[in-house]
Amino acid sequence: MYNAHRRSLFLFAFLAAPVTLYLVYVISPYVQAFYIAMTDWRGVSATPEFVGLDNFVRLFSDGIFWKAVTHNLALLVLLPLLTIVIALFFAFLLNVGNGRGVGGVAGSKFYRVVFFFPHVLAVAVVAVLFQQVFRPDGSGMLNGPLMALGARPVGFLSDPDVAFWSVLGVMLWQAVGFYVVLFSAGLASIPRDMFEAAQIDGAGRVSMFVRVTLPLLWDTIQVAWVYLGILALDVFAIVWVMTDQHGGPDFSTTVMAAEIYRNAFHYFRFGYASALGVVMFFFTIGFTILSLRLSRRERIEY
C-alpha cells in the first residue's frame, strides 16, 4: 500500500507541470474560442455582448462560407487520394520495381533526396515561387513557352475555373516527396523474402503491389491519409499568399482558414471568425475519427 501511494505521488508530481501547461496553452484557448464564438466581440471591447448561436445561424446562410467548405471538401478527397497514389507509385518503383528481381531502381537514394526537396521549402516560399511560375505573361515559366508557340496564355491564378486546380497542383507538388520517403521507409521494413516469394509464385509487378505492398503498408497509408486530410482542412498559407485577393478570383480558391483570417483581421468580426473556427474544429475532429474507424483492419504481423 505504501509503495503504491509513493508511486501515485511520483506520477502526480511528474505529470503536474506538463498537464498544467497543456490545460493553459491548449485547452484554455479552445474554451475561449467556443465562448467568443457566441459573442459579437470585435477585438476591442472588454465586455462583448453574448449573442448565443446567432453567429452560427448567420454562418450557415453565408454563401462565401459554403464556397470555402466546398473547396476544403474537394481538397479533402483529392489531396490525400492523389498524393498517396502518386507517392506509392514512386516509392514502389524506387524500392521494388526495377524489373530485374526485387530491388529499387539505380540511384534510388538520390531520387529520394530530390523528391524530398519541395517539402523542405517553407509554404510561403512555395507560394511566391509558383506565383512566378503561373504568371499570365511571357515571363511565366508555363505561359512563356505557350505564348512562344502562338497559344493564348492561361490564367492559372486569374481564371476562376482554373485557379483551384492550380492550388491543388502546387499542394501535390510539395506533399508527394515527403510521402515517397515515408512509404519508402515502410517498404524498407518489409522483409525481402516476401517479395521474392511472391515473385517465385509468378506474381507480376501489379499483383505484387496489390497483394503484398498495400496490405503490409496499410498502417502507414492510414496515418498518411489522416495527416493529408488535416492538411486539406487546415490549408491557409499557400492560398493566402499565392492567390489573387487572398482566395480569389471571386472566392474561387478560398478555404475556411482564409475566411477565419479575413473576418478576424480584415473585418474585425472576431466572434464570427471564432464561430468559423469552431466549425472547422469539428470538421477536423470528425474527419480524423471517421477515417480511423473506416480504415481500421486487422494488423498483419511479419
CA 11/CA 16 separation, integer angstroms: 8
Q: What is the pLDDT of residue 93?
A: 81
The pTM score is: 0.84
Q: What is the pLDDT of residue 100?
A: 47
Contacts of 10 (CB under 8 A, 6+ apart): none
The tens-digit pLDDT sequence of the chain (302 residues) is 556 667 777 777 778 888 889 898 888 988 988 999 999 888 777 778 888 889 999 998 999 999 999 999 999 999 999 999 999 888 888 877 555 445 566 667 777 788 888 888 889 999 999 998 998 887 788 888 888 888 888 888 988 999 999 999 999 999 999 999 888 888 877 777 666 676 676 666 677 777 777 777 888 888 899 899 989 998 999 999 998 888 888 899 999 999 999 999 998 999 999 999 999 999 888 888 888 787 666 555 55
Amino acid at position 156, single letter: F
Q: What is the pLDDT of residue 297?
A: 61
CA 286/CA 73 separation, integer angstroms: 13
CA 5/CA 88 separation, integer angstroms: 51
User: CB of 291 within 8 A of CB of 226?
Assistant: yes
Collapsed DSSP state (helix, strand, coil) of residue 55: helix
**Dihedrals phi, psi of 96, to nearest 5 degrees:** -125, -40
Contacts of 34 (CB under 8 A, 6+ apart): 274, 278
Q: What is the pLDDT of residue 80?
A: 94
CA 115/CA 1 separation, integer angstroms: 57
Peptide bond into 118 cis (omega under 30): no
User: CB of 235 within 8 A of CB of 171?
Assistant: yes
Nearest CA to 80 among 190, 230, 202, 220?
230
Q: What is the pLDDT of residue 276?
A: 93
Cell numbers describing residue 90 = 514512386
- Domain architecture of the chain: domains with CATH: 56-294 (1.10.3720.10)
CA 185 to chain centre: 20
Amino acid at position 177, single letter: G
Q: What is the pLDDT of residue 103?
A: 57
**Dihedrals phi, psi of 50, to nearest 5 degrees:** -80, 125
The secondary element (H helix, E strand) that includes residue 82 is helix 63-95
- Would you put residue 150 in left (φ > 0), alpha (ψ -120 to 50) or beta? left
Q: What is the pLDDT of residue 67?
A: 94
User: CB of 219 within 8 A of CB of 299?
Assistant: yes
